[in-house]
């Protein structure tokens, strides 16, 4: 029985993960991946504009940090348990770190223990979906609807009311706490 539980746990981790460039975390010699790109350096970042962007990867590479570029533009994945939003429970809004598009509300976040921040509901105007057959698995990739950046994957093993689990990379997310939003009004 313990063997079956261990096997199920390993399969769950593999379903979320598609790590292909472990050198990312070695570049910073850190245990977490964080976005070092500031919004001021990114002329495409806006939390209000939903206009579809058509920016070539060569331009994104100049703007984004290596960690963000690898995940968002090359569909890499941060290592499980290393993301800053994995065990994070502040109230607020989650945006695409690349373009500022709204993705999730914090009250749809839950503890899935898969190693990545998980949500049971996404902003329908914020995300798009694409079939992903990489690594011999059939999955659904979640992309930012505005800039087509890779965010993570969605699975049908989440909690009610939706039954879905959006397994996201922290490095792809930008969080704004409710207290900051209230102060800016």
User: Which residues are known catalytic residues?
Assistant: 167
Measured over the CA atoms of residue 129, residue 155, residue 109 and residue 112, the dihedral's sign is negative
168/119 Cα distance (integer angstroms): 8
In this structure, what token pair is assigned to residue 112?
A: 């899935």
Check if the beta carbon of residue 112 is closer than 8 Å to that of residue 167: yes
Contact (CB, 8 A) for 171 and 68: yes
d(CA 11, CA 13): 5
Query: 3-class DSSP state for residue 89?
Result: coil
């Amino acid at each position: 029985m313990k063997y079956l539980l261990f096997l199920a746990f390993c399969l769950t981790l593999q379903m979320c993960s598609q790590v292909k460039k472990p050198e990312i975390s070695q570049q910073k010699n850190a245990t977490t991946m964080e976005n070092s790109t500031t919004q001021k350096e990114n002329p495409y970042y806006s939390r209000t504009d939903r206009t579809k962007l058509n920016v070539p990867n060569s331009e994104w590479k100049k703007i984004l940090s290596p960690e963000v570029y690898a995940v968002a533009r090359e569909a890499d994945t941060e290592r499980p348990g290393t993301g800053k939003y994995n065990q994070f429970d502040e109230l607020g809004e989650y945006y695409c770190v690349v373009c500022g598009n709204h993705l999730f509300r914090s009250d749809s976040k839950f503890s899935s223990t898969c190693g990545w921040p998980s949500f049971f509901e996404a902003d329908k105007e914020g995300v798009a979906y694409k079939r992903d057959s990489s690594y011999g698995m059939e999955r659904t990739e979640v992309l930012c609807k505005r800039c087509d950046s890779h965010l993570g994957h969605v699975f049908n093993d989440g909690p009610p009311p939706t039954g879905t689990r959006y397994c996201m990379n922290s490095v792809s997310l930008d969080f704004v706490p409710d207290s900051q939003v209230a102060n800016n009004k």
